[in-house]
Chain A
Amino acid sequence: MSDEDELGLAQRALAHLEGDEAQATVTRERSLLARFARSAPTQATAIDDISVELLCVLDGHTGAASTNQIDEAGLADAAGRARAAATAAARHGYGTYPGLPKPVPIHPHDGYDSATASLDPSAAGAALAAAFARCADAGLEAFGIWTAAEVTTAIASSTGVRVTDAVTDAHMTVIARGSDGRSGYADATAVAAAAIDAGAVSAAAAAKVSDESPGPLAPGEYPVVLDHTAVGTLLGFLGSLAFNGLAHHESRGALCGAIGTMVAAPCISVTDSTRAPGTLPRSFDAEGVPKLPLVLIADGVACGVAHDTRSAALAGTVSTGHALAPGGSPDGPEPTNLVLAGGDAASVQELCAPIERGLFVTRFWYVNTVEPRHALLTGMTRDGTFLIEDGVIGGPLHDVRFTDSALRILAATEQLTSARRLVSDSDLYGRRHAIGVLCPALRADAFRVSGGSA
């Protein structure tokens, strides 16, 4: 991008809404992603793109427009569209948006790695080669992705906000698969690509592939050990179902009427923190509000929910820095750096030790909400589901379907590992915005299996 940096572009864009209450957000993505299947590269994607989002605020209404045409004509067109949208909405009375936030100092973080930002394709090549070799050693084929990116976000607003956040992220997923369809999964996410050990990820995936044939498990309630990835998925759903301040205010949230009460086991403490070691640091949210640590559940007691400027105004409080879009998402705010405190178990094996008969789940797949008010979810297990017998992980199981409440599973949690891992989806839809959940593995005494596949 010539000599103009992202903040300079944001200021230039904002100038097209001079005299309005307005915000300009610039996001530049440079990313590299390599996919592989059957131990061969399949698709490789390199992206270099810029989004400019312009937000105009008028009488409590927001109008937004975006473009990647960053010459004056493109910016002027987007500004006109944003202003027209706000004006049209404002013709029908006052809205609920309280106004753009004032500037607040932000703090630097260590979420940027210049070597990762170089997007060296040979790093992708080396990672894939390591995956193919490790899986071949185990008589398996490798499937997955390796990806790295640099994303810079800059916000300039009419209230004086002028902030920039440059971050990097890298991720690798490996699914090791046998010729009969048995599969094992492992992933790793970090700020720096060099922190991802492709060989170790591949070995972990291969270790989840059993030589035995999987057995069935009848529907019912079982003790369960959820590996880190499975725990991360459940917590991610609570982000929208339980910790969304707008849903909470509108009596749609899973913690409605429960703040200050026990909603989980005493060993459960959940925060949202962009500064916890091992997470993906971020300086501010989509409104330029600093992301400060937020206690959501402490020792099993529900403590609060996340807010953006709009939901905070409705609830009579202040933004916690969790806006997902300029002006706030219509669906409300969400925590995107969830952290579940670790426990005292030294390993997953220690979690399994007290279980006479139960199951071990590596990851969930296609989880969806059944009843949002109760955080009731359904989904399948995938890529490594095992029977636990007499305290030891035993033979593989066919994947099972669960239908259970994420909050109920946390209420039934008995022990967690001390070690935590950053769990991050690799779906990366739209403009790249890597997020993750930092969490341990856990054991719960009751997990509801509603079906299975054979």
Chain B
Amino acid sequence: MGIRVAVPGCGFGFAATREATKTGLELALARAVAIARALPAGARRPPLAAIPPARGHWASACEVDPFALSLDERLAPLLAAEKGMHGDRRIVRGVAESLACRTITAFASSDGAAFTQERTECGGGISAFAAANGELQRRSYPSAHGGSVALAGHEHLLALDLAAHAPRVAEEALSLLEAPPCPAGRTTLVIGDEQLALQIHESIGHALELDRILLGEASYAGTSWVSPGDIGTLRYGSPLLAISADATLPGGLGSFGWDDEGVAAQRTMLIDDGVVRATLSDRQSGAAIGVASGGAARADGFARQPIVRMTNVSLEPGEAGTLEELIADVRTGVYMETNSSWSIDDRRLNFQFGTEIGREIRDGKLGRLLRNPTYAGVTPQFWRSLDAVASAPAWRLWGLLDCGKGQPGQNAHVSHGTPPARFRDVEVGVLR
């Protein structure tokens, strides 16, 4: 159990204990108060933004309960997929993994809130590693970094049909060993939805966290190039850029009934017509600029206090049709999919991404494979170069399991929905 206290005249204190007894909780409360009182007084803290007391129970949808299945049933799709990646000695490692996680929380506050929640997460993925002649290539399905995980039951893993994709994944890893490197230069870039999900996460989601904007995370995760006065006026990207934060999205890892401060789940447009309309906030940061909480306070477990996190931050679909139609309008360019590398500065401005696979685009068609593709840019210039967003049928929701923030560190599970999109005049092939 974790206890957060606001001590009059002091800041917040938080203590966590596994001793969920009256004595254990009293000791934890005493520790939370003691550390809050021991710290020097800072500037007067505004009261938390007021909220109606949350009551009730919320549970995520779960069609096939993974915990009602035998381990053999859960292992079978993984073993079949792992086997399907081998056969060539240059495949030096095959990984098939799945996640089934159920979190049950109970929350009570002196505001009068008392509720329980049950979230079930399931999913998985595969990766093949090929090595030869000093070269190493990795190919994954349906995405890297743990595969596709959703707020769902075992049905989500089964629908991925990992075994059916295993031979292709291995073949592509082997083909990449022989592929030419991605050429360097500025060109048109079409980004697959899985990679674009991480691009949204790093260069929009984090930049619009209000605690970062207010410098509260400068000691670790960093700040933001966005300032509080930019809300309502800052042109973040082209008019095609529309970004929502939606904690009510079915299947999203950032979905819940109430956040970890008891604020009801909500959907908010963060960016519309390319202009910043709102930020991700909690009761503390919202109060600091005089707005209601955006319902984005989340903790990664009982031993961590809630901080501002992403929920499901998504690029709304456009009207440019399919991925093929995005590519058809490109004379020369590069298509990239499946993240392999990511880096961005502490203000969320200067980024560089690498993907597992690239393909040359020539005269509106995909061409030869390109290995070790990378692209780099500066956030507002990049999003202002967005010139086509694929339509709703191409929109998919991608889960991320390792969003790190806070001290002590917290890993948030979040999702991002997006279709593929196209960007003009982007720097690619930034290797050396």
Query: Measuring CB to CB, which residues of chain A are less than 8 angstroms from any residue of chain B?
Result: 31-50, 68-70, 84-85, 88-89, 91-92, 121-122, 124-125, 128-129, 132, 143-145, 147, 173, 175, 177, 181, 183, 250-252, 256-257, 330, 365-373, 376, 378-380, 382, 399, 401, 403-404, 426-430, 432, 448, 450-453
Contact = CB atoms under 8 A, between A and B. Distances in A.
A401 B408 contact: no
| Secondary structure class of chain B's binding surface, majority of residues | mixed
Contacts of B432: 376, 403-404, 448, 450
B407 A453 contact: no
Contact of A366 (B40, B136, B344, B378): B344
B408 A42 contact: no
Interface in B348-385: 349-350, 352, 354, 372, 374, 376, 378
Contacts of B222: 365, 382
A40 B345 CA distance: 25
Contact of B134 (A143, A257, A379, A428): A257
A329 to B, nearest CB: 13
A339 to B, nearest CB: 25
B219 A145 contact: yes
A94 to B, nearest CB: 14
Nearest to B30: A46
B341 A143 contact: no
**Residue with the greatest number of chain B CB neighbours at <10 A, chosen from A42, A373, A379:** A42
A436 to B, nearest CB: 16
Contacts of B126: none
A128 B136 contact: no
B79 interface: yes
Contact of A91 (B11, B72, B350): B72
Interface residues of B, number: 73
B430 A403 contact: yes
A35 B407 contact: yes
A177 B344 contact: no
Interface of B: 10-19, 28, 31-32, 34-40, 42-43, 70-72, 75, 79, 92-93, 95, 129, 131, 134-136, 215-220, 222-223, 303-305, 307, 340-347, 349-350, 352, 354, 372, 374, 376, 378, 404, 406-411, 430-432
Given A45-B14, A48-B17, A124 B408 contact: no
| The 8 A-B residue pairs with the shortest CB-CB distance in the complex, in nearest-first order | A40-B42, A429-B409, A121-B38, A88-B71, A373-B136, A453-B350, A41-B39, A251-B131
Contacts of A143: 215, 218-219
Nearest to A331: B95
A70 B20 CA distance: 12
Contact of A47 (B15, B217, B345, B409): B15
Contacts of A32: 35
B352 A378 contact: yes
Contact of A427 (B95, B216, B220): B220
A234 B34 CA distance: 39
A85 B218 contact: no
A380 B135 CA distance: 26
A371 B216 contact: no
Given A365-B345, A403-B430, A451-B376, A175 B219 contact: yes
**Residue with the greatest number of chain B CB neighbours at <10 A, chosen from A46, A128, A147, A426:** A46
A451 B408 contact: no
B72 to A, nearest CB: 6
Contact of B16 (A34, A46, A403, A428): A46
Contacts of B340: 370
A382 B354 CA distance: 21
8 contacts: A42-B216, A48-B18, A373-B135, A378-B343, A379-B343, A380-B345, A401-B352, A453-B345
Contacts of B39: 34, 36, 41, 44, 121, 124-125, 128
B303 A399 contact: no
A38 B215 contact: yes
A256 B287 CA distance: 55
A70 B304 CA distance: 21
A328 to B, nearest CB: 15
Given A49-B17, A252-B129, A453-B347, A429 B411 contact: yes
Given A40-B43, A450-B376, A369 B303 contact: no
A36 B16 contact: no
Contacts of B16: 45-49
B17 A429 contact: no
Contact of A145 (B407, B430, B431): B407
Contact of A403 (B19, B37, B218, B352): B352
A370 B408 contact: no
A169 B376 CA distance: 38
Contacts of A47: 15-16, 303, 408
B219 A372 contact: no
Nearest to B82: A92
A129 B135 CA distance: 52
Contacts of A85: 71
A210 B372 CA distance: 38
B226 to A, nearest CB: 13
